[in-house]
Amino acid sequence: MGHIAEILDHASPVLPVLVVENPQLALPLAEALLRGGLAVLELTLRTPQALESLWLIQQELPEMVVGAGTVLDAEQARQAQQAGAAFVVSPGYTESLAQVTKGLDLPWLPGVQTASEILQAREAGLRRLKLFPAGAGGLTLLDNFAGPFQDMMFCPTGGIHAGNLGEYLARPNVACCGGSWLAPQALLDAQNWDGITALAREAVAIAERQRFVGK
Ligand code: 3PG
Protein backbone atom coordinates (compact mmCIF):
# COMPACT_ATOMS: atom_id res chain seq x y z
CA MET A 1 0.00 0.00 0.00
CA GLY A 2 2.29 2.74 -1.28
CA HIS A 3 0.08 5.67 -2.23
CA ILE A 4 -1.91 8.03 -0.08
CA ALA A 5 -4.98 7.42 -2.30
CA GLU A 6 -4.85 3.69 -1.61
CA ILE A 7 -4.29 4.29 2.10
CA LEU A 8 -7.26 6.66 2.35
CA ASP A 9 -9.48 4.27 0.41
CA HIS A 10 -8.53 1.66 2.98
CA ALA A 11 -9.20 4.21 5.77
CA SER A 12 -12.62 4.95 4.43
CA PRO A 13 -14.79 6.08 6.18
CA VAL A 14 -12.69 7.37 9.01
CA LEU A 15 -9.10 8.02 10.02
CA PRO A 16 -8.84 8.01 13.83
CA VAL A 17 -6.49 10.73 15.11
CA LEU A 18 -4.75 9.52 18.26
CA VAL A 19 -2.83 11.22 21.04
CA VAL A 20 -1.03 8.53 23.06
CA GLU A 21 0.76 9.36 26.29
CA ASN A 22 1.25 5.85 27.58
CA PRO A 23 2.84 3.43 25.07
CA GLN A 24 1.35 0.50 27.01
CA LEU A 25 -2.09 1.64 25.91
CA ALA A 26 -1.13 1.99 22.24
CA LEU A 27 -1.62 -1.62 21.24
CA PRO A 28 -4.96 -2.27 23.00
CA LEU A 29 -6.22 1.02 21.57
CA ALA A 30 -5.25 0.05 18.02
CA GLU A 31 -6.78 -3.41 18.52
CA ALA A 32 -10.04 -1.85 19.75
CA LEU A 33 -10.25 0.33 16.62
CA LEU A 34 -9.47 -2.64 14.37
CA ARG A 35 -12.20 -4.71 16.03
CA GLY A 36 -14.56 -1.84 15.27
CA GLY A 37 -13.70 -2.03 11.56
CA LEU A 38 -11.07 0.73 11.22
CA ALA A 39 -7.77 -0.48 9.77
CA VAL A 40 -5.86 2.78 9.30
CA LEU A 41 -4.92 5.22 12.04
CA GLU A 42 -3.00 8.46 12.51
CA LEU A 43 -0.88 8.64 15.64
CA THR A 44 0.06 12.25 16.29
CA LEU A 45 3.60 13.25 17.24
CA ARG A 46 2.29 15.37 20.08
CA THR A 47 3.71 13.39 22.97
CA PRO A 48 7.26 12.19 23.71
CA GLN A 49 5.90 8.62 23.59
CA ALA A 50 4.37 8.91 20.12
CA LEU A 51 7.19 7.36 18.05
CA GLU A 52 7.58 4.43 20.44
CA SER A 53 3.81 3.86 20.38
CA LEU A 54 3.76 3.99 16.60
CA TRP A 55 6.62 1.51 16.36
CA LEU A 56 4.88 -0.87 18.77
CA ILE A 57 1.60 -0.89 16.85
CA GLN A 58 3.13 -1.47 13.44
CA GLN A 59 5.33 -4.25 14.86
CA GLU A 60 2.60 -6.06 16.79
CA LEU A 61 -0.45 -5.42 14.62
CA PRO A 62 0.55 -5.76 10.97
CA GLU A 63 -3.11 -5.61 9.81
CA MET A 64 -3.23 -2.00 10.96
CA VAL A 65 -1.84 0.70 8.64
CA VAL A 66 -0.22 3.24 10.94
CA GLY A 67 0.58 6.81 9.97
CA ALA A 68 2.17 9.64 11.92
CA GLY A 69 0.21 12.85 12.39
CA THR A 70 1.14 16.40 13.37
CA VAL A 71 4.33 16.09 11.30
CA LEU A 72 5.56 19.68 11.26
CA ASP A 73 9.03 19.45 9.67
CA ALA A 74 11.46 17.32 7.70
CA GLU A 75 13.12 15.83 10.77
CA GLN A 76 9.79 14.57 12.13
CA ALA A 77 8.98 13.04 8.74
CA ARG A 78 12.28 11.12 8.81
CA GLN A 79 11.75 10.00 12.42
CA ALA A 80 8.22 8.84 11.61
CA GLN A 81 9.44 6.76 8.70
CA GLN A 82 12.17 5.21 10.84
CA ALA A 83 9.54 4.28 13.45
CA GLY A 84 7.60 2.46 10.73
CA ALA A 85 4.99 5.02 9.68
CA ALA A 86 3.30 4.02 6.42
CA PHE A 87 2.33 7.66 5.78
CA VAL A 88 2.50 11.08 7.39
CA VAL A 89 -0.10 13.79 7.96
CA SER A 90 0.58 17.51 8.46
CA PRO A 91 -1.80 20.26 9.52
CA GLY A 92 -0.57 22.42 6.61
CA TYR A 93 1.39 22.44 3.36
CA THR A 94 5.05 23.51 2.97
CA GLU A 95 7.44 23.09 0.05
CA SER A 96 10.13 21.59 2.30
CA LEU A 97 7.74 18.89 3.54
CA ALA A 98 6.69 18.27 -0.07
CA GLN A 99 10.33 17.75 -1.02
CA VAL A 100 11.34 15.61 1.93
CA THR A 101 8.35 13.27 1.71
CA LYS A 102 8.92 12.88 -2.02
CA GLY A 103 12.61 12.15 -1.38
CA LEU A 104 11.73 9.58 1.26
CA ASP A 105 8.98 8.11 -0.94
CA LEU A 106 6.72 8.58 2.08
CA PRO A 107 2.99 9.08 1.33
CA TRP A 108 1.94 12.49 2.67
CA LEU A 109 -1.45 14.00 3.50
CA PRO A 110 -0.96 17.75 4.02
CA GLY A 111 -3.65 20.06 5.34
CA VAL A 112 -5.12 22.86 3.23
CA GLN A 113 -7.80 25.51 3.70
CA THR A 114 -7.49 27.73 0.63
CA ALA A 115 -7.59 27.49 -3.17
CA SER A 116 -3.95 28.69 -3.36
CA GLU A 117 -2.75 25.90 -1.06
CA ILE A 118 -4.68 23.35 -3.14
CA LEU A 119 -3.02 24.69 -6.29
CA GLN A 120 0.43 24.40 -4.72
CA ALA A 121 -0.23 20.85 -3.55
CA ARG A 122 -1.66 19.96 -6.95
CA GLU A 123 1.46 21.30 -8.65
CA ALA A 124 3.48 18.98 -6.40
CA GLY A 125 1.47 16.08 -7.80
CA LEU A 126 -0.87 15.54 -4.85
CA ARG A 127 -4.52 14.66 -5.40
CA ARG A 128 -5.58 13.80 -1.83
CA LEU A 129 -5.47 16.49 0.84
CA LYS A 130 -6.55 16.95 4.41
CA LEU A 131 -9.07 19.78 4.81
CA PHE A 132 -8.09 21.35 8.12
CA PRO A 133 -9.68 22.60 10.25
CA ALA A 134 -12.95 21.35 8.81
CA GLY A 135 -14.79 23.04 11.68
CA ALA A 136 -14.04 26.41 10.01
CA GLY A 137 -16.76 26.16 7.35
CA GLY A 138 -15.65 22.80 5.96
CA LEU A 139 -18.91 21.86 4.21
CA THR A 140 -19.07 25.20 2.37
CA LEU A 141 -15.41 24.93 1.39
CA LEU A 142 -15.89 21.40 0.05
CA ASP A 143 -18.89 22.45 -2.04
CA ASN A 144 -16.99 25.42 -3.45
CA PHE A 145 -13.79 23.44 -4.13
CA ALA A 146 -15.78 20.79 -6.02
CA GLY A 147 -16.20 23.14 -9.02
CA PRO A 148 -12.63 24.14 -9.87
CA PHE A 149 -10.83 21.15 -8.33
CA GLN A 150 -12.56 18.19 -9.92
CA ASP A 151 -9.56 15.87 -9.56
CA MET A 152 -8.99 16.55 -5.85
CA MET A 153 -10.34 14.50 -2.94
CA PHE A 154 -10.30 15.66 0.68
CA CYS A 155 -10.10 14.19 4.15
CA PRO A 156 -11.84 16.76 6.37
CA THR A 157 -10.45 16.77 9.90
CA GLY A 158 -10.86 19.00 12.93
CA GLY A 159 -14.36 19.27 14.32
CA ILE A 160 -15.72 16.02 12.85
CA HIS A 161 -17.84 13.79 15.09
CA ALA A 162 -20.56 11.16 14.83
CA GLY A 163 -23.18 13.91 14.51
CA ASN A 164 -21.77 15.49 11.34
CA LEU A 165 -19.80 12.57 9.82
CA GLY A 166 -22.64 11.53 7.48
CA GLU A 167 -23.00 15.06 6.09
CA TYR A 168 -19.28 15.20 5.28
CA LEU A 169 -19.12 11.71 3.78
CA ALA A 170 -22.06 12.60 1.52
CA ARG A 171 -19.87 15.11 -0.33
CA PRO A 172 -18.55 13.61 -3.58
CA ASN A 173 -15.09 15.11 -2.99
CA VAL A 174 -14.64 13.51 0.45
CA ALA A 175 -12.45 10.39 0.56
CA CYS A 176 -12.72 9.91 4.32
CA CYS A 177 -12.89 11.97 7.51
CA GLY A 178 -10.32 12.24 10.28
CA GLY A 179 -10.91 12.82 13.92
CA SER A 180 -10.04 12.30 17.53
CA TRP A 181 -13.59 11.61 18.67
CA LEU A 182 -13.01 7.86 18.20
CA ALA A 183 -10.49 7.73 21.03
CA PRO A 184 -11.61 10.17 23.71
CA GLN A 185 -9.22 10.70 26.60
CA ALA A 186 -11.82 9.58 29.17
CA LEU A 187 -12.25 6.17 27.48
CA LEU A 188 -8.47 5.83 27.09
CA ASP A 189 -7.87 6.66 30.76
CA ALA A 190 -10.51 4.12 31.77
CA GLN A 191 -9.02 1.61 29.29
CA ASN A 192 -12.55 1.18 28.04
CA TRP A 193 -11.65 -0.70 24.86
CA ASP A 194 -15.21 -1.88 24.24
CA GLY A 195 -16.31 1.75 24.34
CA ILE A 196 -13.73 2.65 21.68
CA THR A 197 -14.74 -0.33 19.53
CA ALA A 198 -18.35 0.86 19.80
CA LEU A 199 -17.39 4.35 18.57
CA ALA A 200 -15.52 2.82 15.61
CA ARG A 201 -18.50 0.61 14.76
CA GLU A 202 -20.84 3.60 14.97
CA ALA A 203 -18.65 5.49 12.43
CA VAL A 204 -18.58 2.50 10.08
CA ALA A 205 -22.38 2.18 10.35
CA ILE A 206 -22.85 5.88 9.53
CA ALA A 207 -20.67 5.44 6.44
CA GLU A 208 -22.52 2.32 5.34
CA ARG A 209 -25.84 4.11 5.66
CA GLN A 210 -24.39 6.95 3.60
CA ARG A 211 -23.21 4.56 0.91
CA PHE A 212 -26.68 3.00 0.78
CA VAL A 213 -28.35 6.39 0.41
CA GLY A 214 -25.76 7.30 -2.23
CA LYS A 215 -23.64 10.39 -2.76
C1 3PG B 1 -5.90 16.90 13.86
O2 3PG B 1 -4.76 16.95 14.25
O3 3PG B 1 -6.19 16.44 12.76
C4 3PG B 1 -6.98 17.49 14.71
O5 3PG B 1 -6.47 17.97 15.91
C6 3PG B 1 -8.10 16.55 14.99
O7 3PG B 1 -9.16 17.36 15.28
P8 3PG B 1 -10.35 16.87 16.23
O9 3PG B 1 -9.73 16.71 17.59
O10 3PG B 1 -11.36 18.00 16.19
O11 3PG B 1 -10.90 15.60 15.69
Render pLDDT for 178-194 as a digit per residue (tens, 0 to 9). 999 999 999 999 999 99
What residues contact 29, with CB distance under 8 A and at least 6 apart? 18, 20, 183, 188, 193, 196
The residue ranges of every structural domain in the chain are 4-112+177-213
pTM of the entire predicted model: 0.95
Residue 215 has pLDDT above 70, yes or no: no
> Each residue of 30-63: pLDDT tens digit?
999 999 999 999 999 999 999 999 999 999 999 9
Residue 202 among the catalytic residues: no
Ligand 1 center from residue 209 Cα (angstroms): 24
Name the H helices within 42-148.
50-60, 74-82, 95-104, 115-123, 138-145
How many whole angstroms separate alpha carbon 86 and alpha carbon 109? 11
How many whole angstroms separate alpha carbon 167 and alpha carbon 174? 10
Degrees to nearest 5, angle at CA 8 with 195 and 203: 25
Residue 210 has pLDDT above 90, yes or no: no
Ligand 1 center from residue 157 Cα (angstroms): 6
Share of the chain above pLDDT 70, in %: 98
Residue 42 among the catalytic residues: yes
Q: Report the CATH architecture of 4-112+177-213.
A: Alpha-Beta Barrel (3.20)
Selected residue with higher pLDDT from 7 and 89? 89
